[in-house]
Amino acid sequence: SIKAIESSSKEDDTTWLTYWVVYGVFSVAEFFSDTFLYWFPFYYAGKCVFLLWCMAPGRCSGAQLLYQRLIRPCFLKHHRALDAALGALGARV
């Protein structure tokens, strides 16, 4: 990520920032569901394959696909409410 930020090209910045957004959403979801998921056979192997798919370069990148089809529409739908809640929280602090 540091190399992407420090490079002169902005394309790799977008790629890696998209990956980290997808990884963050995945980590939060996994935090709440890990109690149940680790009982499934090959859960950790599947998780590894999923993360490798998310890091894949180019058009076959899972991170780009998940971001464009799931995370971005949800964010755009709720970003005003999120901004208002964070603003209110910041005012209280």
Give the pLDDT score at 65.
Answer: 92
Domain boundaries, the chain: 9-55, 59-92
Which structure tokens are listed for 10? Answer: 């902005």
User: What pLDDT digit, counting tens, does each position of 45-81 carry?
Assistant: 999 999 999 999 877 889 989 999 999 899 889 888 9
Amino acid at 45: A
pTM of this prediction?
A: 0.76
8 Å CB contact between 16 and 4? yes
Whole-number mean pLDDT of the chain? 86
pLDDT digits (tens, 9 = 90+) for 37-52: 878 899 999 999 999 9
